């Protein structure tokens, strides 16, 4: 089954785009949502996190102590790399399990990940799609969606590769800048991917 990686910077609209693909019947694996889930459900990952960052990473009920972990990794790139080295293989394991549940009639699947290129998961994909939008548009969308300040959104943006770098790596681009129809761009790609798998 063909695997298409889809990504985009914060507020680019990648989740919105994935919902359109879902409406066309394409199964979508949301890597970032799954990563959050498995932090509290995957015993191998939980053990690894406790060993790396202390038992206080979880409370007695098994709830993740986000503040503790974020406090360690936010300004320490070695600790962040350590966390990623635990989480990324666990997400790959979850993706393989999920793939086993995908109906064989599906023409292809999408794997949505904010850090598709940064994490190297693009290498496990047959094709990649980048959703782009201008930075001011993305700032407006995310401040409105999350009630965050522009500074908070910019801080998160600065932890991601910029669009210029990702455009060089992506096979296809969807421009979600409100100047052209996103639905038409999705339909065009869907037709192309469906033809490849026929
Ligand atoms: P994140 O990386 O934070 O998860 P994202 O790339 O998945 O963000 P979305 O959540 O899809 O982005 O979109 C961000 C916000 O912008 C949402 O509130 C969404 O409804 C809105 N949005 C996305 N695309 C458009 C568009 N073309 N027109 C208007 N609003 C849009």
Would the pTM count as exceeding 0.90?
A: yes
The span from the CA of 62 to the CA of 125, in Å, is 33
Query: For residue 84, how far is its CA from the centre of ligand 1 (angstroms)?
Result: 25
Binding-site residues: 11-16
pLDDT tens per residue across span 74-130: 889 999 999 999 999 999 999 999 999 999 999 999 999 999 998 889 999 999 999
Among 8, 15, 114, residue to substitute to test ligand 1 (most atoms within 8 Å of Cβ): 15
Contact between 5 and 174 under an 8 Å Cβ cutoff? The reply is: no
Q: Which residue CA neighbors atom 24 of ligand 1 most closely?
A: 13
Question: Could you tell me the two tokens for 33?
Answer: 């949502």
Sign, Cα dihedral of 120, 121, 124, 125: negative
φ, ψ at 99 (rounded to 5°): -55, -35
Per-residue model confidence as pLDDT tens digits over 13-31: 999 999 999 999 999 999 9
Show the ligand 1 pocket: residues with CB < 6 angstroms: 8, 10-16, 114, 141-142, 145, 176, 178, 182
Using DSSP's 3-state secondary structure scheme, residue 115 falls into coil
C-alpha of residue 15 to centroid of ligand 1, in Å: 7
The domains found in the chain, sorted by start residue, are 1-27+108-198 (3.40.50.300), 32-101 (3.40.50.300)
């Amino acid at each position: 089954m063909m695997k298409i990686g889809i990504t985009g910077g914060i507020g680019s609209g990648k989740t919105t785009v994935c919902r359109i693909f879902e409406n066309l019947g394409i199964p979508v694996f949301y890597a970032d949502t799954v990563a959050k889930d498995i932090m509290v459900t995957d015993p191998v990952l939980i053990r690894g996190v406790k060993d790396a960052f202390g038992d206080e990473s979880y409370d007695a009920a098994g709830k993740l102590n986000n503040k503790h972990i974020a406090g360690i990794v936010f300004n320490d790139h070695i600790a962040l790399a350590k966390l990623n080295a635990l989480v990324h293989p666990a997400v790959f394991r979850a993706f393989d399990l999920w793939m086993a549940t995908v109906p064989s009639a599906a023409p292809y699947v999408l794997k949505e990940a904010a850090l598709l290129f940064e994490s190297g998961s693009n290498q496990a994909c047959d094709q990649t799609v980048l959703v782009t939008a201008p930075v001011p548009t993305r700032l407006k969308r995310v401040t409105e969606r999350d009630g965050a300040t522009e500074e908070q959104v910019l801080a998160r943006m600065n932890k991601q590769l910029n669009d210029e770098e990702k455009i060089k790596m992506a096979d296809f681009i969807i421009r979600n800048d409100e100047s052209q129809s996103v639905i038409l761009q999705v339909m065009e790609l869907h037709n192309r991917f469906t033809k490849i798998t026929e």
